[in-house]
Amino acid sequence: MLRSLLALLLLGACAHGPTTSTAVRYAATDEVTTLALRESITRSLRDVRRGADLEVVCVRVQAGDPPPAVLSALAESVPFALRPFSSCRIERGELSAFDRAQVVEAETGRRGMEIFTESLVFTSATAFTVRVGFFQHPDVSGQWMCAGRQTSSGWRVDRCDDE
């Protein structure tokens, strides 16, 4: 009897598809990822080599490209050409070329930097941690572990610590 009841409950849950909380979590993930990438851009521009090429920003989320919605939302507020990470390559070359960005858009050869988010974890329904960072050259890069939360006006980053 109990086994039959559990099977019916499981079948009913599967028949109705994803729950609203799952849909909300996906939307929150995109919002927080966009917020984290903006934080990465802000922090990277403090450190990026001003004399180096900065024509393109390649965006990576975890080990791949960001969702299209994240790239679109980010593009609205960033004054750089944004490309998904798969459109770029990292040139491994002479480390003494300090003034040359090693992040290159594959199609055009434009140089720039990579920004990224990794390890996004929702520690509760309204709080998260995420690693953000950038790479332009082995000597011009950085990463931070950030923590944030949802407020009445939306998601925000409260602090970021150097790693």
In this prediction, residue 13 carries a pLDDT of 35
What are the pLDDT digits (tens) for 31-51?
A: 999 999 989 988 887 777 555
CA distances from 115 to 72, 89, 96, 112 (A): 15, 13, 22, 10
In this prediction, residue 98 carries a pLDDT of 53
> Model pTM?
0.77
Neighbours of 139 (CB within 10 A): 8
What are the pLDDT digits (tens) for 106-119?
A: 999 988 889 999 99
In this prediction, residue 149 carries a pLDDT of 96
In this prediction, residue 12 carries a pLDDT of 35
Q: What is the DSSP pairing of strand 111-124 with strand 127-137?
A: antiparallel
With beta carbons less than 8 A apart as the criterion, state whether 127 and 149 touch.
yes
Does the pLDDT at position 123 exceed 60? yes
